[in-house]
Amino acid sequence: MTDPTDLTALDRLCAVPFHDADAPLRAAILRQLADTELHAALAADAAADMAELRMYDLPNVTVALAADDAAALAGFLGGPVAHVSLPGRVLAAALAAEGRGLLVNPGRRSEMLLDAAALAWLGQALAIVPDAAEAAPRRLTQPRPDAVAALAEPLAQRLSDMAGRIAGAALVGADWPDGRQGHLLVVAGAGADDRPALAKALAELLAFLPEIAGGVDVTFEPLALPPGALRIEPAPPAPAPAPVRRDPDAPPRLKW
């Protein structure tokens, strides 16, 4: 049995194998993949700023090989291997542009084989840029139960990543002047300089979640919340570990 402490964030999401998961879970896994640092095998040691990925020919697709743990990559290949480390979104975009796929974490519970079409879909979802809302909502209401069920947990997780940059958020129903009835995420406490990046991160999250009828808009403007609004507060950051006091008489530590 795998030691739970050895599981990566991707492993923990893949209690059900990726290719057996339902659409919402697959979307959550791909969103995590985009934010994960991957270690991709190289054909040879990188020279200056040039690196050539090691490619493998599989039925109907040529793929690069990557893992979210460098030791796991070496273990799968049977020994040390030259590799490059970069965010999953960057690797996916580069491979999709060349019509190639990606094999991730072979032999682990988060193993997945993504062809060029899947990587292109991931890139399109990540490329979404939120529109700047100009009209104010005509009326705010309690969010619909289906929206709460679909959005509450993913929003809480994403907003926790923004702890220290926002004070909190609330999900409400929104009736718009054009007749559209959707939802609005009201984010509080964000600095003006942070707002574009926060809006982009939230737009990416929503792109990977089930579509909500009427859509979900984001605002950073202070609004009076209606009764029944779903309030979400980011979890406080974990305290910094206590500094380790080193014995002054201990021998020096060497790095190789």
Average pLDDT, stretch 16-43? 91
Query: What pLDDT is stored for residue 131 in this prediction?
Result: 64
The predicted structure's pLDDT at residue 163: 87
pLDDT at residue 40 is higher than 90: yes
DSSP secondary structure letter of residue 233: -
Alpha carbons 241 and 244: distance in angstroms, whole number: 9
Q: Which residues pair with 170 in a beta bridge?
A: 186, 231
Residue 251, amino acid: P
- Give residue 44's pLDDT: 86
Its pTM stands at 0.72
The pLDDT value recorded for residue 4 is 53
Where do runs of H (alpha helix) occur along 99-194? Answer: 116-126, 145-160
pLDDT, residue 25, reads 87
CATH code that applies to domain 139-232: 3.30.300
pLDDT digits (tens, 9 = 90+) for 126-155: 888 776 556 789 999 999 999 999 999 889
Q: Does domain 4-126 have CATH number 3.40.640.10?
A: no
Q: What is the DSSP string of 33-89?
A: HHHSEEEEEBSS--BTTB--B-EEEETTEEEEEEESSHHHHHHHHTS---EEEEEHH
pLDDT in tens, 160-204: 889 889 999 999 999 999 999 999 999 999 999 999 999 998 998
154 near 184, Cβ under 8 Å? Answer: no
Q: Convert the pLDDT of each residue in 56-109 to its tens digit.
A: 999 989 999 999 999 999 999 999 999 999 999 999 999 999 999 999 999 999
Number of C-beta neighbours around residue 109 at 10 A: 17
pLDDT band at 252 (very low <50, low <70, confident <90, very high): very low
**pLDDT, position 241:** 57
**pLDDT score for 1:** 40
* Domain residue extents for the chain: 4-126, 139-232
pLDDT at 24: 82
